[in-house]
């Protein structure tokens, strides 16, 4: 890799703010012809926003984009595509009911006599497919092909126009190893033709296998640009995760002082679900905070969902208070005193169009059944108590939840579960996307709950936070539990090491 | 809330005034033999079945569903009752017939609920099954004939009076009951929660299936009672025409009343107003003498107008003009 050719894309000083969030701050980004460039960062780092700025979905507030020496300002994805920037998104954005050829040339069909020239269309499609070495019948219906092939068709569609830049946003998330290899072969073909490929993936192995260069973002800011060969996994991960300088010493102290030797409350024995998480063992004691650490897609959420019965386990068993419990759904988990606050606040947590009051009492009311409504006075008392305790604003019980800020929404969701007085509280990314003040309040709350004897399973992408708050840390990688560490004796570095896989004693191989 | 009902109320007032202009005696009420008569009473009486069905439909729609089978269920209820009564004039037989019919309707509601909540079929398809098959069932029950009865007790349901027509009283009673149950128990809140966000509700431990099942049974029973009114009013069961297209009127009533077809928040008062608009519209068609061949077109135009003024885009345009004027 030499830097002799000028970059095909150069973005300088890109800033973009959404209401309440600075999504990108003064980010520089370069993309050279004939390279595979990985864009790295955890959730919310600004990867998607940067891609969307490049492809004309968003317009930056500041900064400029230079494409092949010319300053450009796209106002729509169509314009960007016309200029040679093609994008393939994570989900296949094609029409399953049309043929492969139709999908590849949709919107730019060869025409003849006012109609579509189908033979010519099939010929063009076959040429494009041959260019990337995919041999399928262009006249076959797209839905006949597996997802991996559909992904390749999407790529064929992207390169059917004169394409100088190809953006692949998590193309491998639904592919198996063989399919990934095929995709990489095609990426190399295109790279060698001089196409600049921007690649986003959460799988580090893949990034190291395919990419030539990488740019790391964190919290909307540029952390660094490196040749892939120059940066090892450990330093990459610590760049991605960063160090939260506002360490809350008090919370750490509390975690250390806590004896955390209550009786075993929840125990998983070989619990697992195919395609979600490999069978794992886990013990959670009353008054203990167990942290789950791992990168996105490592199985953090999947593990939590099994404990709550949101998904059904297909192996192993769960014991609560030493007795086996068959979870037939969230209701049986709730009855056993388990609560789960989802990372997807809007989709799986809150009921946006209902008031704070209704959202607060929903879980408790659901447990009582509709025939036994909570008396108005009890409700008001609970709502008042938690609005105050968690400092929820506005403190108006009738306000619709969708009008609240992210941090306040998170607190409402937390309060919903606190109302039910759970014995095990599972918090999946409770501090994501909320401001630092609310974050500290929630961390404080977890410490208080544990001191009162509640078991907490704490999931966060921020390792600092996990290490600070947890008594025990369970480390996950590639949908497998790989280690369990003592929280007070562990530093972030050690966890990073394990996640990176450098020093992991991969002893238990379960398949 | 008030704002949401403003336009439907205005539309209703406009329709009533139009009637008053055409028929000056439209608002006049008179008492004859202890019975209340008048144009407004007619509107209420004729609208009673639609209101009942719309009430059931409101709850179904609030859970993101829809029930197309209510018209067919209404026909089945009338058919079963009339066949059971036959030539009898006994009150006991009439009551038994109606009880059998309503139990059967509840079973049909269970079937709809099973398809929607149990099998996960899209509500519009699931209830389409009974919408078409139900007419056939009603035909089987009546053996293809229009079954006429002459039963004094049965006649009271649709044509009787206790100062007001009995059908109005029944509908208002059910309205009151639904309002009471949904507000005094947690049912209303849970229905809204399921309608707004089914997955979040499931994860909060709400028995979404049971709730969805319940609203379909309720809708079917409402349809059954409406079917009894329709059949009792003419003392006959017509498997083909009883309650024909009433599901459309009911859905319109719900939508005009401001409940979104996307589910979630619903308004029973809105549905009441919606049902009154639909019925007043039908009455208007007769009083102002719209030619029969353009009746449906006229109705459609009014409904479109009401829906348009409620549409967010039209509202935005209206408020923009207000701003521009000021």
The pLDDT value recorded for residue A218 is: 86
Q: Which of residues 41 through 80 in chain A touch B, CB cutoff 8 A?
A: none
Pair of tokens at residue A395: 């403190």
Residues in chain A predicted with pLDDT less than 50, given as ranges, are 1-2, 244-249, 503-511
pLDDT tens-place string over residues A325-368: 988 899 999 999 999 999 888 889 999 999 999 999 999 999 99
Q: How many structural domains are present in chain A?
A: 3
A412 & A426 share domain: no
- Domain membership flag for residue A139: yes
DSSP A128: H
Report the pLDDT averaged over residues B116-123: 94
Tell me what pLDDT residue A258 has.
58
> By the 8 A CB rule, do A251 and A444 touch?
yes
User: How is chain A split among helix, strand and coil, in percent rounded to 5?
Assistant: 40, 25, 35
Do A131 and A208 share a structural domain? yes
B-chain residue closest to A370, CA distance: B186
Picking from B185, B193, B201, the nearest residue to A371 by CB comes out as B185
Residue with structure tokens 């404990």?
Answer: A307
Helical spans, DSSP H, in A369-459 = 376-389, 406-419, 436-451
Q: Which bin fits B211, alpha (ψ -120 to 50), beta or left (φ > 0)?
A: alpha
What is the per-residue pLDDT for A249? Answer: 46
CA distance B316 to B281: 27
Claim to verify: residue A136 and residue A229 sit in the same structural domain = yes
Please name which of A87, A294, A293 lies closest in space to residue A204, comparing C-alpha atoms: A294
Radius of gyration of chain B (CA): 20
Mean pLDDT over residues B287-302, rounded? Answer: 82
pLDDT of residue B147: 94
Only one residue has tokens 């059967």, namely B104
Distance (Å, whole) CA B230 – CA B77: 10
Residue A1 lies in a domain: no
| Secondary-structure percent of chain B, ordered helix, strand, coil, rounded to 5 | 75, 5, 20
Percentage, residues of chain B above pLDDT 70:
95
Domains and CATH numbers, chain B: 2-325 (1.10.3470)
Mean pLDDT along residues B149-157 = 94
Q: Which of A350, A370, A373 sits opposite B200 (nearest CB)?
A: A350
Q: Is the pLDDT of residue B254 over 90?
A: yes
Q: Which of A400, A421, A442 is the last residue of a domain?
A: A421
Q: How many CB atoms lie within 10 A of CB B151?
A: 21
In 3-state terms, what secondary structure has residue B162?
A: strand
**Cα B19 from chain centroid (whole Å):** 23
Chain pair A-B, CB pairs under 8 angstroms: 76
Residue A342 covered by a domain? no
B202 vs A333: CA distance, rounded Å: 12
Distances (CA, A) of A279 to A275, A285, A298, A317, A477: 11, 20, 13, 10, 13
The SS3 call for residue A37 is strand
Same domain, residue pair A41 and A109: yes
Which of B181, B204, B264 best probes binding to A when mutated, by most A CB atoms within 10 angstroms?
B204
Query: How far from B154 is each of B71, B94, B142, CA to CA, in Å?
Result: 20, 6, 17
Residue A207, domain member (yes or no): yes
Tell me the C-alpha distance between B233 and B156, whole Å.
8
Instruction: Measure A358 CA to nearest chain B CA, in Å.
Output: 7
Sort out which chain B residues have CB atoms less than 8 A from A353's CB and list them. 192, 196, 264-265
pLDDT band at B1 (very low <50, low <70, confident <90, very high): very low
Are A354 and B184 a contacting pair at CB < 8 A? Answer: no
Of residues A146, A137, A136, the one with CA closest to residue A96: A146
Identify the closest residue of chain A to B193 by CA–CA distance. A351
Identify the CATH number of the domain in which residue A63 sits: 3.40.50.300
**Boundary of a domain, candidates A403, A421, A439:** A421
pLDDT for position A206: 86
* Residues forming a β-bridge with A260: none
Q: What is the pTM of this model?
A: 0.73
- The pLDDT of residue B268 is 95
The vertex-A431 CA angle with A430 and A432, nearest 5°, equals: 100
Residue A499 is encoded by which pair of tokens? 């996640």
The DSSP output letter for A7 is P
Q: Does A94 lie in the same domain as A234?
A: yes
The rounded distance, in Å, linking the Cα atoms of A253 and A255 is: 5
Same domain, A215 and A251: no
Residue A114, classified by CB atoms within 10 Å of its CB into exposed (0-12), middle (13-18) or buried (19+), is exposed
Collapse the DSSP code of A272 into the 3-class scheme (helix H, G, I; strand E, B; otherwise coil) and give the result. strand
What local confidence, expressed as pLDDT, does residue B320 receive?
A: 54
Question: In this structure, are residues A215 and A29 in contact, taking their beta carbons and an 8 Å threshold?
Answer: yes
Considering A83-87, A216-220, B24-28, B169-173, the range whose residues carry the highest mean pLDDT is B169-173
Dihedrals phi, psi of A38, to nearest 5 degrees: -95, 135
Instruction: Give the β-pairing of A62-67 and A85-88.
Output: unpaired
One domain for residues A73 and A119: yes
* Alpha-carbon gap, residue A135 to A143, rounded angstroms: 16
Q: Across residues B189-210, what is the average pLDDT? A: 93
Which of A327, A355, A362 should be substituted to probe chain B, the one whose Cβ sees the most B Cβ atoms within 10 Å?
A: A362
The helix/strand count (H/E) of chain A reads as: 17, 22
Strand partners, A218: A221
Enclosing domain of residue A436: 245-337+422-511
Question: Token match 């975690």: residue?
Answer: A255
* A222/B contact by beta carbon, under 8 A: no
Same domain for A138 and A152: yes
- Distances in Å between the alpha carbon of B26 and those of A122, B38, B258, B313? 70, 7, 27, 36
Mutation test of the interface with chain B: which of A343, A363, A366, choosing the one with the most B Cβ atoms within 10 A? Answer: A366
| Paired tokens of B47 | 């609208």
For residues A412 and A475, membership in a common domain is answered with no
Strand pairing class (A70-72; A111-112): unpaired
How many whole angstroms separate alpha carbon A186 and alpha carbon A168? Answer: 12
A2 within a domain of the structure (yes/no): no
Domain membership of residue A442 (yes or no) is: yes
DSSP A336-393: TTEEEE-S-IIIII--TTSBHHHHHHHHHHHHH-TTSPPPHHHHHHHHHHHHHHTT-S
Q: Any CB–CB contact under 8 A between A304 and chain B? A: no
**pLDDT given at position B326:** 40
Residue B291 confidence (pLDDT): 83
Distance separating the N- and C-terminal Cα atoms of chain A: 39
Token reading at B306 = 């009401």
Whether residues A358 and A328 share a domain: the answer is no
Q: Is the dihedral of CA A441, A442, A445, A450 positive or negative?
A: negative
Instruction: Answer for the pair A364, B186: CB distance below 8 angstroms, yes or no.
Output: no
pLDDT of residue A247: 40
| 8 A C-beta contact, residue A116 and residue A105 | no
Closest C-alpha among B196, B171, B295 to residue A400: B196
Does residue A3 lie within any of the structural domains?
no
Mean pLDDT lowest among A348-352, A479-483, B278-282, B302-306: B302-306
Q: Name chain A contacts of B265, Cβ cutoff 8 Å.
A: 353
Closest residue in chain A to residue B265, using alpha carbons only:
A353
Residue in A with minimal Cα distance to B194: A351
> Which token pair is A286?
């009353």
Query: Do A172 and A111 belong to one domain?
Result: yes
> What is the Cα–Cα distance from B213 to B221, expressed in whole angstroms?
13
Would the pLDDT of B308 be above 50?
yes
Buried/exposed code over A308-319 (b: 16+ C-beta within 10 A; e: otherwise): bbbbebeeeebb
Per the CB < 8 Å rule, is B186 touching A416? no
DSSP letters for B92-129: HHHHHHHHHHHHHHHHHHHHHHIIIIIT---HHHHHHH
CA distance B296 to B249: 12
CB nearest A366 (choices: B199, B205, B264): B205
Q: Which two tokens stand for residue B153?
A: 């007790």
- Interhelix angle B268-287/B2-22, rounded to 10 degrees, is 20
What is the band of B298 on the pLDDT scale with cuts at 50, 70, 90? confident
Best CA proximity match to B184, nearest among B176, B193, B196, B174: B176
Residue B2: pLDDT over 60 = no
What integer pLDDT is reported at residue B235 of this predicted model? 94
Whether A128 is in a domain gets the answer yes
Helix (H, G, I), strand (E, B) or coil at B13: helix
Tokens of B125: 């398809």
| Res A507: pLDDT | 39
Q: What is the pLDDT of residue A81?
A: 85
Q: Looking at A115-129, A239-253, B148-162, B299-313, which range is the least confident one?
A: A239-253
Report in angstroms the alpha-carbon separations of B254 from A277, A463, B9, B16, B260.
Answer: 45, 51, 14, 20, 8
- Residue A244 φ/ψ, nearest 5 degrees: -75, 110
Q: Which of B186, B203, B206 sits opposite A340 (nearest CB)?
A: B203
Residues A100, A154: contact at Cβ < 8 Å? Answer: no
**Six-digit token pair at B124?**
């519009």
Instruction: List the single residue in A with minimal CA-CA distance to B200.
Output: A348
Distance from CA of A341 to the nearest CA of B (A): 9
Q: How far is CA A490 from CA A384, B25, B60, in A?
A: 39, 88, 54
Tell which of A380, A402, A421 closes a domain: A421
Clarify whether residues A453 and A400 are in a common domain: no
């Amino acid at each position: 890799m030499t830097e002799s050719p000028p970059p095909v894309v150069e973005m300088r000083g890109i800033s973009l703010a959404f209401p309440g969030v600075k999504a990108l701050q003064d980010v520089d980004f370069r993309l050279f012809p004939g390279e595979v460039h990985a864009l790295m960062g955890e959730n919310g780092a600004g990867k998607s926003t940067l891609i969307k700025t490049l492809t004309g979905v968003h317009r930056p507030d500041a900064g400029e984009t230079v494409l092949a020496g010319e300053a450009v300002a796209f106002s729509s994805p169509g314009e960007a595509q016309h200029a040679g920037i093609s994008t393939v998104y994570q989900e296949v954005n094609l029409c399953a009911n049309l043929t492969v050829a139709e999908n590849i040339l949709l919107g730019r069909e060869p025409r003849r006599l006012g109609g579509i020239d189908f033979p010519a269309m099939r010929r063009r499609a076959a040429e494009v497919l041959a260019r990337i070495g995919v041999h399928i019948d262009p006249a076959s219906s797209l839905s006949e092909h597996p997802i991996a092939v559909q992904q390749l068709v999407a790529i064929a569609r992207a390169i059917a126009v004169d394409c100088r830049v190809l953006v692949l946003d998590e193309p491998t998330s639904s592919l198996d190893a063989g399919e990934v290899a095929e995709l990489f072969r095609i990426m190399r073909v295109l790279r060698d033709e001089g196409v600049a490929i921007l690649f986003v993936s959460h799988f580090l192995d893949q990034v190291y296998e395919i990419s030539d260069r990488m740019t790391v973002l964190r919290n909307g800011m540029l952390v660094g640009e490196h040749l892939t060969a120059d940066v090892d996994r450990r330093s990459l991960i610590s760049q991605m995760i960063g160090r939260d300088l506002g360490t809350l010493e008090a919370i750490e102290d509390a975690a250390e002082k806590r004896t955390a030797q209550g009786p075993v409350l929840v125990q998983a024995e070989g619990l697992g679900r195919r395609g979600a998480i490999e069978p794992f063992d886990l013990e959670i004691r009353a008054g203990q905070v167990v942290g789950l650490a791992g990168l996105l897609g490592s199985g953090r959420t999947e593990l939590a969902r099994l404990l709550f019965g949101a998904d059904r386990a297909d192996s192993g068993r769960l014991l609560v208070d030493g007795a086996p419990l068959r979870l037939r759904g969230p209701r049986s988990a709730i009855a056993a005193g388990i609560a789960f606050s989802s990372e997807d606040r809007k989709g799986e947590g809150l009921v946006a169009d209902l008031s704070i009051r209704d959202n607060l009492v929903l879980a408790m009311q659901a447990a009582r059944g509709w025939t036994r409504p909570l008396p108005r006075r009890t409700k008001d008392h609970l709502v008042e108590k938690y609005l105050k305790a968690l400092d929820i604003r506005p403190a108006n019980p009738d306000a619709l939840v969708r009008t609240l800020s992210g941090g306040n929404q998170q607190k409402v969701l937390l309060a919903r579960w606190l109302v039910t007085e759970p014995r095990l509280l599972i918090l999946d990314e409770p501090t994501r996307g909320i401001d630092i003040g609310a974050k500290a309040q929630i961390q404080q709350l977890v410490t208080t709950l544990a001191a009162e004897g509640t078991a907490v399973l704490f999931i966060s992408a921020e390792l600092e936070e996990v290490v600070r708050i947890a008594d025990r840390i369970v480390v996950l990688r590639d949908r497998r539990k790989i280690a369990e560490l003592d929280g007070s004796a562990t530093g972030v570095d050690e966890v990073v090491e394990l996640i990176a896989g450098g020093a992991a004693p991969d002893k238990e191989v379960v398949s | 809330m008030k704002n949401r009902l403003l336009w439907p109320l205005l539309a209703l007032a406009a329709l009533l005034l139009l009637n008053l202009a055409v028929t000056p005696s439209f608002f006049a009420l008179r008492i004859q033999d202890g019975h209340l008569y008048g144009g407004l009473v007619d509107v209420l009486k004729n609208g009673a079945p639609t209101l009942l069905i719309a009430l059931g439909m409101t709850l179904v729609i609030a859970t993101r569903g829809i029930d197309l089978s209510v018209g067919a269920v209404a026909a089945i209820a009338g058919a079963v009752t009339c066949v059971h009564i036959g030539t009898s004039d006994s009150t006991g037989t009439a009551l038994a017939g109606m009880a059998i019919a309503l139990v059967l309707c509840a079973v049909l509601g269970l079937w709809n609920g099973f398809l929607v909540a149990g099998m996960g079929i899209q509500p519009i398809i699931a209830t389409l099954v009974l919408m078409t098959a139900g007419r056939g069932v009603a035909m089987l029950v009546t053996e293809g004939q229009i079954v006429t009865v002459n039963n004094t007790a049965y006649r009271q349901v649709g044509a009787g009076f206790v100062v007001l027509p009995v059908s109005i009283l029944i509908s208002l009673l059910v309205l009151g009951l639904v309002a009471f149950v949904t507000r005094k128990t947690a049912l209303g809140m849970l229905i809204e929660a399921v309608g707004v966000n089914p997955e979040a509700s499931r994860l909060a431990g709400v028995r979404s299936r049971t709730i969805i099942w319940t609203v379909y049974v309720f809708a079917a029973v409402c349809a059954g009672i409406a079917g009894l009114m329709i059949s009792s009013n003419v003392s006959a069961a017509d498997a083909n025409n009883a309650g024909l297209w009433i599901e459309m009127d009911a859905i319109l009533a719900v939508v005009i009343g401001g409940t979104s077809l996307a589910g979630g928040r619903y308004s029973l008062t809105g549905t009441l107003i919606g049902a009154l608009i639909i019925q007043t519209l039908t009455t208007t068609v007769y009083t102002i003498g719209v030619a029969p061949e353009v009746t449906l077109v006229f109705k459609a135009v009014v409904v479109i107008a009401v829906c348009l003024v409620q549409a967010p885009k039209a509202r935005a345009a209206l408020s923009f003009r207000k701003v521009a004027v000021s």
